A = this chain, B = another copy of it.
C-alpha cells in the first residue's frame, strides 16, 4: 500500500535487461532505430515494455530548458472562463503541451486582486519555479504582477493576456472586438426606438481594462447617434450594491428605456431591480447583457446579449503562445481581436411609447 517512489524503473534497468548500453537504449527508445539492428531494437522495446519503463520528462526539461508546459492563471469563474480554459487546453494538448492551471482565492468570493498582490506574485513564481515555458493570464493578473516577476518583465518567459488591453502593449493579448460589439448593441437599441439608454458596469481597475474599453466603446457608439441620451453608472468595488444601484438607475431622472449591462452577471441584477420596481422586461425596460453565459438563454425573458467566442479566444491565446515559443510569432506584440456575436433575444423590445 505504501508508495515507494524510489522504486521506479530507470533506463539503466531496461538497458541491462536488454543487454545493451544505456545510450543504446536511450537512442532506440527515442526512435533512433536506424543505427541499430532490428533484433537489438526489439529487445530494448520489449524490455521497456516488460518493465513498464516511462520516460522522465523532468530530465528533458532540465536538459533542454523547455518543459512543454504552460502556466495558465485563469479560474473557472463562470461559463465564459471555463470555455476559454477548454479552448486553451485543447490547443495546447494538440501540440503536446501541458497546461498548468492555477488561480488565487476561492471562486465564490473572488478576491480583490490589488489586495492580494503578494499572493499573486507568489503564484506566478511557483509556476516559474516549475519552469513553465510561457504563461496565459486573465485580466486581474495585469500590469502589477507583470512588473513584479522578473522573468516576465525581462521577457524571458512569453505571456499572453486575455481580455487585458492597454495602449502600449506589454505582451500578446487576445480580446473580444469590443468596438464592433458596442456598435451592434447601439444599432439594435436605436433601431428599436430607444432614446434614453443607460450603461451599468462594475468598477474599472487598471487591471480590468476590458471593462473600461467596453464602456468607452459603447459611449463612442452612442455618440454616433446624437438623438440618444446616454449615461454610464457604476457599481462599488465589490459589486455588493448591485441591485440597489440598478434600482436607483431605473428610477433616475434619465428614466432609461434600455439598460446595457457590462456583462450578463450585471444583467441579472438589472432583472431583479426591474422586478422590484414593478417594471416589465422588455415592455418597460429593455436589457442587454454581454458574454452569453450559460444562464443567459434561460433567463426570463431570455437575455439579449453579445456572445463572446470563448473557445476561440482560448485557442487563439494558446496558439499565439505556441507560435511565440516556436519563434514564429511577429516581432511586435500581437493584439488579437475575436469578434462577438450579437444575440437578440426577448429582453429587448421597442422603446415604450414607440410601439
Contact = CB atoms under 8 A, between A and B. Distances in A.
Contact of A62 (B59, B76, B300): B59
Contacts of A131: 56-58
Contact of A103 (B62, B89, B150): B89
Interface string A117-155: 000000001101111010000000000000000110011
Interface stretch (A182-190, A255-263, A324-332): A324-332
Contacts of A150: 52
Oligomer: number of copies: 2
A18 B3 CA distance: 41
A158 B98 contact: no
Contact of A3 (B7, B98, B158): B158
Interface in A227-275: none
A52 to B, nearest CB: 4
B155 A57 contact: no
Given A56-B62, A61-B58, A101-B101, A156 B86 contact: no
B156 A3 contact: yes
A106 B83 CA distance: 9
A82 interface: yes
Given A125-B54, A151-B52, A3 B157 contact: yes
A157 B54 CA distance: 13
A220 interface: no
Given A82-B107, A107-B82, A156 B4 contact: yes
Given A100-B100, A327-B2, A106 B129 contact: no
A106 B133 contact: no
Interface string A290-314: 0000110010100000000001000
Nearest to A332: B1
A278 interface: no
Contacts of A86: 75-76, 106-107
A326 to B, nearest CB: 10
B103 A100 contact: no
A15 interface: no
A5 B129 contact: no
A90 B106 contact: yes
A8 interface: yes
A317 to B, nearest CB: 16
Contacts of A3: 155-158, 324-325, 327
A133 B5 contact: yes
A156 B5 contact: yes
Interface of A: 1-8, 52, 54-59, 61-62, 65-67, 69, 75-76, 82-83, 85-86, 89-90, 93, 98-103, 106-107, 125-126, 128-131, 133, 150-151, 154-158, 294-295, 298, 300, 311, 324-325, 327, 331-333
25 contacts: A1-B155, A1-B332, A1-B333, A2-B327, A3-B156, A3-B325, A3-B327, A4-B156, A5-B156, A8-B65, A52-B150, A52-B151, A52-B154, A57-B129, A57-B130, A58-B61, A58-B130, A58-B131, A86-B106, A90-B106, A99-B101, A101-B101, A106-B311, A294-B295, A295-B295
Given A3-B158, A7-B156, 11 more contacts: A3-B155, A3-B156, A8-B65, A8-B156, A57-B130, A58-B67, A59-B62, A69-B130, A76-B86, A93-B102, A98-B130
